[in-house]
A and B are shown apart, each in its own frame.
Chain A
Amino acid sequence: MQEKDIYGYAGKILRVDLTTGRISTEPTVRYAREWLGGSGIAQWILYNEIRPWVTPYAPANRLIIGTGPLNGTLAPGASRVTADSKNALTLGVGSSNSDSHLAPELKFAGYDHIILQGKARKPVYLWIKDEHVELRDAVHLWGKTTWETDEMIKQELNDDAIQTLSIGPAGENIVRGACIIVNRGRALGRCGMGGVMGSKNVKAIAVRGTGEVKVADPARFMKAVDEIRKRFEKSDVVREFVKLGTPKGVKDRQRTCNVPYKNFQQLVFPEEAYAKWDLEKLQESYRVRNIGYMACPMHCSRYFQIDHGAYAGLRTEGCQFESVADFAGKLAVEDPVFSIKANTYCNQLGLDVDSAAGSIGWAMECYQRGILKESDADGLKLEWGDAGVVLELIRKIAYREGFGNILGEGCAHAAEMLGRDSNYYAMNLKGQDLYEVLRSTIGWALGVCVSTRGGGHTTGAPGPCEEIPDLDADVAEKVYGIRTVAQPQAYTDKAKLVGYFEQLHRVSNSFGTCHFTTTWFEHSLQGFSELAELYSAATGFETTENDLRRSATRMLNVEKSFNLLHTNLGRKDDYPPQRDLEEPIPSGLVKGFKIEKEKWDDLLDEYYEMHNWDKKTGFPTRKCLEELDLKQVASDLEKAGKLG
C-alpha cells in the first residue's frame, strides 16, 4: 500500500537523529495493522531499537511522540497525544499521555509519530510545518519556563496557532520526574519524559499542519460518530462531569476512602479540610470558561482566573483532580486555590505533579517522624500543609538545588539514598511515585500494581465504574464480563476486570482516544465494538472487537517483556507498597478494611494464569507468546532466562 492510499493515519513517521542532524521519514503502514498507532506503535519501536543496557538518558534511547488513527477526525474524544521512551524512574516501559491540539496538528502536518534519537550538541528545538522540518537553535530558550518557551517560539515564528511541546528547567536539569508540557496547561506527565527530552538537548517541538486527514469510508465513519455522540448527549453522568470536571472526584473519593491524605496516612480529608471543597462555589468564584480539545464531547478542562487572595493574578488552565489529590491530599495544603497554584508552578517548571508531591509527601512524613530534620532540608521545616515550603521544594526539585537534588530522584530513589528505614514511607510502584490510593478498591489496586509503566491508572486500572454504587450486576456483566464490578472491596473476578481494561486502555492509547469517553468512565459510552467500527471505517482495515483485543494483548506482552529484558522487575513488584498491606483503612466508610497478603497472592495467581504467564515468576510463557505471533520475543526472553 502506498502512502497516498492510507486512511485514518497521516502516513509517515518522522525520524530525527539529533547527533547527525539527519531527518528522514518511513511509512506508518509498516506498523499500522499490527500495532494500531500511538503508544502501540511506539512501544514496538522501542522494543526493537533500545538494548537493555541503554540508560534513559543515553543518546541511544528514543523519545517517541505519537498520534493515533482517530486523531484529527470527529471520532469522540480523539484528542490525546502520547510520549513513549525508556522510563526514567523504573528503567522499564515508559509511556505518558495528554489531551491537547498537538496530535491533530501533527497529523495535519503529515506525521503520525516523531522519533527523536541521539543527542544534539547544543540546545535545539524541532520546527515542523508540513513538509518543512528543521532543527533550530534553542540556546536562547534554555533556562526558560514552558510558558515563556511557548510564547517565544510563537513570536519567533510569527504564528500563534502553532502547537508546542516543551520542557522547563526540570527537564533541562534531568529531574527524574520531569515532564513535557503541551503549550501551557497540559502535561505528558508520568515516567520522566521531560528529563529524557532534556538529555537530548531538545527544548521544544513546534508544529503547524495545514493538510488533512481522510477516512476510508466517510459515510460509515460519520454514522458511527453520530451514534456514539448521541450517548454523550443523553448521559446525566456526562453532564455532571462537564459541570465540575475531574475535581468532581473530591466528592466521590471522599465517599470511597480514596484520598491520599498526608502521604496516604489517612484516606479521607478531615471534616474541616473537606468543608473547603465546595466545588460549585469555587467554580463560581474562579472559573472563566470550560476548555475542550478536538472532537471532545466532555470539555472537562477549565480556565481559572484568581482575582483575590494569596494567588491573585493567577490565570491558567487547570487543574485536574490529580493535583487536588497531590497538593490538598498528599501534602495537606487546605486552601483549594493552592492546588491550582502548585499545578501551574509545576507546569511552568516542567515537573510532574504526582512525582513532585510524591517525594515531598515522603519528606514531610519523614520529618513528622523525626527521620528528617531541618538541617537535612536546607533549614526548611517540612510541616504538613505549609504552602510556602511546598512551593520552595518544587523550585528546589526543578533546579536540583540542595535538598531538592535528592527529592528530584523521586521518593523511591530518595529513600534509598537516605536510608534510615525511610522506604516504608516512599509510596511508589516499581520506583515511580504513586498518586493512586490502593487500599480501598481492589480492581483499581490490581490494575495499578501490575501496570507495566510502574503505577498509573491508564494501562489497566478499572476507573470510576468500580465506584458506582448502583451499577446493576446484569449491566456490569454485559459490558465488562463480570458481575462484581461495583463491589470495590471484592476480589472475585477482579483479575478479569483488569484484563478488560488492560485491553481497552491500550486500544485507546493507540487510537488517541480519551479514557473518559469510554466504558472506563461510564458503561454506556464507547467500548471495543464502537472503537472497532470507528477504526474500520477510518482506516479501511476491517477490524473486529476481538482483533482489537488481541492487538492490545500483544502490546501488553511486548511491554511486559521489555520490562523483563531491561530490569529485574518480577512478581515481587506487583504487590502494593508495604504500608497498604499492613495498615487497615483508619477512618471513613470502609474503616478497618485491609488488603490481605494471602488474598493478593491468590489474585496475582489468577491474573497471571489468565494471561498464560508463569504463576511463580510472572514471566510470559512460550505458549502465550507464540499464540500471539511473538516468537522472536519468546526467544529474546529465553536468552535472558526470563521465559516462564
Chain B
Amino acid sequence: MATDKVMFDTKDCTGCKTCVIACSYHHKGVFSLASSSIEIKDWRQEGKFAIVFHKKDEDGYLACDKCQGESEPLCIKYCSFLARDELRTLLHTI
C-alpha cells in the first residue's frame, strides 16, 4: 500500500517553515501552516528538523501536486539557498 505521507530527516533545513506557507499559497492563495502539503517537525532542542510531505488530503493537510501550474515548486522557490538543493532532492523522491 502506498504511504500517504513521507518524512525525511534533513541536514540543511533551517526550520523556517517558509516552504509550508509557500505551499499553502499555491493551494489556497492564503498563508497557513495547516492548509499545506508540507509539515516541518521542529525538534530544535536537539538541533533537528524533519520534513513531511503529504501525498493525500488528510487532517487538513493537502496532497502535494508538485505545484502544477507554477514555473517551479513554490517550496523550492522560497526555500533558503542553504537548503534548496536538499529540498529539491527530497521532493523528487516522493
Task: Find out whether the CB atom of A303 lies under 8 angstroms from the CB atom of B16.
Answer: no
Task: Find out whether the CB atom of A218 lies under 8 angstroms from the CB atom of B29.
Answer: yes
- Chain A residues with CB under 8 Å of B47's CB are 288-289, 303, 305, 315
Q: Is the interface of B mostly helix, strand, loop or mixed?
A: loop
- Chain B residues with CB under 8 Å of A545's CB are none
Contact with A along B36-68 (1 / 0, CB 8 A): 000000111111000000000000100000000
- Chain A residues with CB under 8 Å of B29's CB are 214, 218
User: What CA separation (Å) do A210 and B50 show in the bound complex?
Assistant: 20
Task: Find out whether the CB atom of B34 lies under 8 angstroms from the CB atom of A294.
Answer: no
Is A74 in the interface zone, CB < 8 Å from B? yes
Task: Find out whether the CB atom of A212 lies under 8 angstroms from the CB atom of B16.
Answer: no
Is A144 in the interface zone, CB < 8 Å from B? no
Is B11 in the interface zone, CB < 8 Å from A? yes
Q: A74-B18, A218-B29 are in contact. Are A211 and B34 (CB under 8 A)?
A: yes
Q: A290-B82, A297-B80 are in contact. Are A212 and B35 (CB under 8 A)?
A: yes
User: What CA separation (Å) do A317 and B60 show in the bound complex?
Assistant: 31
User: What CA separation (Å) do A184 and B43 show in the bound complex?
Assistant: 11
Q: Which listed residue (B16, B28, B33) contacts A299, Cβ 8 A?
A: B16
Task: Find out whether the CB atom of B42 lies under 8 angstroms from the CB atom of A213.
Answer: no
What interface size band does chain A fall in?
35 or more
Task: Find out whether the CB atom of A184 lies under 8 angstroms from the CB atom of B45.
Answer: yes
Residue of B nearest to A300 (CB): B14
User: What CA separation (Å) do A303 and B81 show in the bound complex?
Assistant: 18
- Chain A residues with CB under 8 Å of B14's CB are 289-292, 299
Is A408 in the interface zone, CB < 8 Å from B? no
- Chain A residues with CB under 8 Å of B30's CB are 212-215
Is B87 in the interface zone, CB < 8 Å from A? no
- Chain A residues with CB under 8 Å of B11's CB are 289
Is A160 in the interface zone, CB < 8 Å from B? yes
User: What CA separation (Å) do A151 and B46 show in the bound complex?
Assistant: 12
User: What CA separation (Å) do A73 and B20 show in the bound complex?
Assistant: 11
- Chain A residues with CB under 8 Å of B81's CB are 233, 242
Q: Which listed residue (B17, B44, B45, B60) contacts A294, Cβ 8 A?
A: B17
Task: Find out whether the CB atom of B12 lies under 8 angstroms from the CB atom of A299.
Answer: no
What interface size band does chain B fall in?
20 to 34
Contact with B along A101-124 (1 / 0, CB 8 A): 100110010000000000000000
- Chain B residues with CB under 8 Å of A74's CB are 18, 21-22, 25, 31, 78
Task: Find out whether the CB atom of A101 lies under 8 angstroms from the CB atom of B17.
Answer: yes
A192 to B: closest C-beta gap in Å: 26
- Chain B residues with CB under 8 Å of A291's CB are 14-16, 44
User: What CA separation (Å) do A296 and B46 show in the bound complex?
Assistant: 21
- Chain B residues with CB under 8 Å of A215's CB are 30-31
The residues in A between 315 and 369 inclusive whose CB is less than 8 angstroms from any CB of B are 315, 317
Is A157 in the interface zone, CB < 8 Å from B? no
User: What CA separation (Å) do A305 and B11 show in the bound complex?
Assistant: 14
The residues in A between 380 and 416 inclusive whose CB is less than 8 angstroms from any CB of B are none
B89 to A: closest C-beta gap in Å: 17
Task: Find out whether the CB atom of B31 lies under 8 angstroms from the CB atom of A317.
Answer: no
User: What CA separation (Å) do A435 and B16 show in the bound complex?
Assistant: 28
Residue of A nearest to B40 (CB): A161
Is A454 in the interface zone, CB < 8 Å from B? no
Is A293 in the interface zone, CB < 8 Å from B? yes
Task: Find out whether the CB atom of A294 lies under 8 angstroms from the CB atom of B16.
Answer: yes
Residue of A nearest to B33 (CB): A108
- Chain A residues with CB under 8 Å of B32's CB are 108, 210-213
User: What CA separation (Å) do A212 and B25 show in the bound complex?
Assistant: 10
- Chain B residues with CB under 8 Å of A289's CB are 11-14, 47
- Chain A residues with CB under 8 Å of B42's CB are 101, 160-161
The residues in A between 109 and 160 inclusive whose CB is less than 8 angstroms from any CB of B are 147, 151, 160
- Chain B residues with CB under 8 Å of A290's CB are 14, 80, 82
- Chain A residues with CB under 8 Å of B25's CB are 74, 218, 222
Top 10 A-B residue pairs of the complex, sorted by shortest distance between their CB atoms: A292-B16, A212-B32, A292-B14, A303-B47, A212-B30, A210-B34, A288-B47, A213-B31, A299-B14, A290-B14
* CB<8 Å pairs between A and B, sample of 6: A108-B33, A211-B34, A242-B80, A292-B14, A296-B18, A297-B80
Extra A-B contacts (13), CB below 8 Å, given A214-B30, A291-B14: A73-B21, A73-B31, A147-B45, A151-B45, A185-B44, A210-B60, A212-B32, A212-B35, A214-B29, A289-B13, A292-B14, A295-B78, A299-B82
